[in-house]
Structure 1
Amino acid sequence: MIESVKQGKFLVVTIPDDWKHYTIEGIFKDYWKVPKKMIHEWRMGKAVTVNDQKIPWTSLLKPGDRLAVPVFEDTDDLVAATDLQISILYEDEHLLIVNKPPGMDTHPNSAGQADTLMNGVAHYLLSTEQPTMAKHIHRLDKDTSGAVLFAKNRLSGVMLDKMLEERKIHRTYLAIVHGLLSKAKGTINEKIGRDRHHPTRRRVSPTGQTAITHFRVLERDPKKKLTIVKCSLESGRTHQIRVHFSHIGHPLAGDVLYGGKAVFPRQALHAYKISFIHPVTEEPIECIAPFLDSVPIFPDFPLP
């Protein structure tokens, strides 16, 4: 664990033993892998200190040194604040994990839209007297529920973006599909691209982007001819789980866009778990997102 504390606009990090061969610049460039533009801003701003002193960035750091970096800066409100009574799963100075209900967009898609998860996050931050900088690191479809990760400052934002790109943020889903899957587990490795005949639909395409979905059967319902599966992704393509299961002949229950029957008021897809190593403190983070449907879709069994 990396010891750190917020002091005003500064993140103050206590240098651990295994950082003793790094310089200030080395921490930013090689360890945190901060973008050049942000490093340049910090250098020109001349606010970075070690033990409250401004020292050359080429200086080697010693265990116990206190490195102060101005990461908690005020930003303009990007979206309107709306009280949506959002459910917080985890929060610290750097990030926020929110349980998105079904029927809610992750972010505004048009000017003036104020009923999205981002609007609810903006209200929460404002009501708790925090800077209202919030950046969603990934998104969920409107009718998919579950955990969504937000960054609360620019440093955590760029670090989490890189972690997502490098597949270091693990998201696990529950889905109910039509039919009885014969395999207990499997992998769907099919590229996904846009459907030229529909503005929002995606399809399996040899010219699309690589998309890999792993699944494991949790329960089969022979009477209703439905199967509950746990899914994990090696990629994060739009509608990936929905497209993949439709492609193998088992569309998600309730997902009429991809051939499912309207047996539920929405597609039966829930992002129930997110796990990763915290980008700043390096602590393991794991959150389980309870179901929020007013009309239950998933059976009442312990989340795997």
Structure 2
Amino acid sequence: MITQKKGEWMELMIPAIWTGLTIQKLLQEVWQAPKGLLHQWRMDKGVKLQNESVPWNTEFQEGQKLQLHLFRHEEYGVEPEFLSIEPIFEDEHLLIVNKPFAMDTHPNQPGQGGTLANGVAFHWQVHGLSTKVRHIHRLDRDTTGGVVFAKHALSGAILDRMLAAREIKRTYHAFVQGLPKQKKGTIHEPIGRDRHHPTRRRVSDRGDHAITHYKVIETFPKHDLSLLELQLETGRTHQIRVHLSHIGHPIVGDSLYGGQTRRFDRQALHAGRIELVHPFTREALSVDIPWPSDLKILHASLI
């Protein structure tokens, strides 16, 4: 399905599979638009079919043109700031950015600057887009890799729901200490807060359900290190870091969870691929996120 941005409106041609579907069902059941957005569209006639406002119980016919007032003027929610950010994928609905290390995903307190969200706001400002900066997920300050942002309210709602349903697949790469005996495995251990440390988490019987899958990609016996590929079924704070430390293979450089910093001074963890079905075009997206230079140097030093 092809969508087009026409000013503040999105246009798309009704596909054959939507024949007989009503506007109401598309918005409420297929896209599951938030109630506030539905109300807004009703009030300002923000949904049109063939350039006309029609009742929402109108059934679609293949080839008709649907128009939605999606791209409204909004405040960014953060101060635009020129930062060196690296967009990897972008269209009118979403943006995937390669977050560098030593950068928060979003402000953690009022007035905080220098975050990825500040950089995204500036990127959008330069390209004439005025919309709230909506991050769909986040990464730890010193973890690098792909972060998804929604470019309008409906995209944000759909992507949030996809994330909750585990329909956004994120693949991580981590350099860890030791040589795992199993080439692949699953860590199924609950994670809770560490009462003795304000930010650290730990495996705890009373913690939240957490599952991490791992696969050994490469080993470096001379250095007693390995490169793992990891995928999450849950999204707990510090999940990969806690789970790998728990099985005796802490991430290189992760001092909070027992990783040695002699070779690397931050956790050697990178979100290297994002896969999802596009919320509007239904295209299967698989976006690879390049390693930062320090990870490339680390890898070269081990070969």
TM-score, length-normalised on structure 2? 0.96
Residue 140 of structure 2 is matched in structure 1 by 141
1:285 counterpart letter in structure 2: L
1:298 Cα deviation from its structure 2 partner? 4.3
Residue 89 of structure 2 is matched in structure 1 by 90
1:228 Cα deviation from its structure 2 partner? 0.8
2:63 counterpart letter in structure 1: G
Q: Deviations over 1:54-98 (max 9, x none)?
A: 111011111111111111011112111111121110000010000
Measured in 2, the distance between the counterparts of 1:166 and 1:77 equals 27
Residue 64 of structure 2 is matched in structure 1 by 65
Residue 274 of structure 2 is matched in structure 1 by 274
In 2 relative to 1, CA 218–73 (structure 1 residues): closer, same or farther, beyond 3 Å? same
Q: Percent identity?
A: 48
Q: Residue 126 of structure 1 contacts residue 132 of structure 1 at CA under 8 Å; is this kept in 2?
A: no
Query: What pairs up with 1:39-118 in 2 under 5 angstroms?
Result: 39-118=38-117
Q: Which runs of 4+ in 1 moved over 3 A?
A: 293-298
Measured in 1, the distance between the counterparts of 2:157 and 2:70 equals 12
Instruction: Mark the runs of 5 or more structure 2 residues left unpaired by the alignment.
Output: none
Q: Residue 176 of structure 2 contacts residue 227 of structure 2 at CA under 8 Å; is this kept in 1?
A: yes
1:152 counterpart letter in structure 2: K
Measured in 2, the distance between the counterparts of 1:292 and 1:198 equals 30
1:295 Cα deviation from its structure 2 partner? 6.8
Q: Deviations over 1:123-166 (max 9, x none)?
A: 11111111242211000000000011000100100000000011
Measured in 2, the distance between the counterparts of 1:210 and 1:300 equals 36
Query: What pairs up with 1:174-185 in 2 under 5 angstroms?
Result: 174-185=173-184
SS of aligned partner of 2:245: helix
Q: Mean Cα displacement is larger for which, 179-188 or 217-226?
A: 217-226
Measured in 2, the distance between the counterparts of 1:172 and 1:298 equals 19
Residue 188 of structure 1 is matched in structure 2 by 187
Q: Residue 268 of structure 1 contacts residue 297 of structure 1 at CA under 8 Å; is this kept in 2?
A: no
Residue 238 of structure 1 is matched in structure 2 by 237
Measured in 2, the distance between the counterparts of 1:15 and 1:82 equals 39
Measured in 1, the distance between the counterparts of 2:44 and 2:166 equals 33
Measured in 1, the distance between the counterparts of 2:132 and 2:63 equals 30
Residue 223 of structure 1 is matched in structure 2 by 222
Residue 203 of structure 2 is matched in structure 1 by 204
1:297 Cα deviation from its structure 2 partner? 5.0
1:177 Cα deviation from its structure 2 partner? 1.0
Q: Residue 10 of structure 2 contacts residue 67 of structure 2 at CA under 8 Å; is this kept in 1?
A: yes
1:202 counterpart letter in structure 2: R
Measured in 2, the distance between the counterparts of 1:25 and 1:67 equals 13
SS of aligned partner of 1:299: helix
Q: Residue 72 of structure 2 contacts residue 131 of structure 2 at CA under 8 Å; is this kept in 1?
A: no
Measured in 1, the distance between the counterparts of 2:293 and 2:195 equals 33
Q: Residue 176 of structure 2 contacts residue 225 of structure 2 at CA under 8 Å; is this kept in 1?
A: yes
Measured in 1, the distance between the counterparts of 2:54 and 2:300 equals 58
SS of aligned partner of 1:216: strand
Task: Count residues with an aligned counterpart.
Answer: 300
Residue 265 of structure 1 is matched in structure 2 by 265
In 2 relative to 1, CA 298–275 (structure 1 residues): closer, same or farther, beyond 3 Å? farther
Measured in 1, the distance between the counterparts of 2:189 and 2:28 equals 36
Instruction: Mark the runs of 5 or more structure 1 residues left unpaired by the alignment.
Output: none
Q: Deviations over 1:168-195 (max 9, x none)?
A: 1000000011111000000001111111
SS of aligned partner of 2:20: coil
Measured in 2, the distance between the counterparts of 1:187 and 1:51 equals 52
Q: Whose helix proportion is higher, 1 or 2?
A: 2
In 2 relative to 1, CA 247–20 (structure 1 residues): closer, same or farther, beyond 3 Å? same
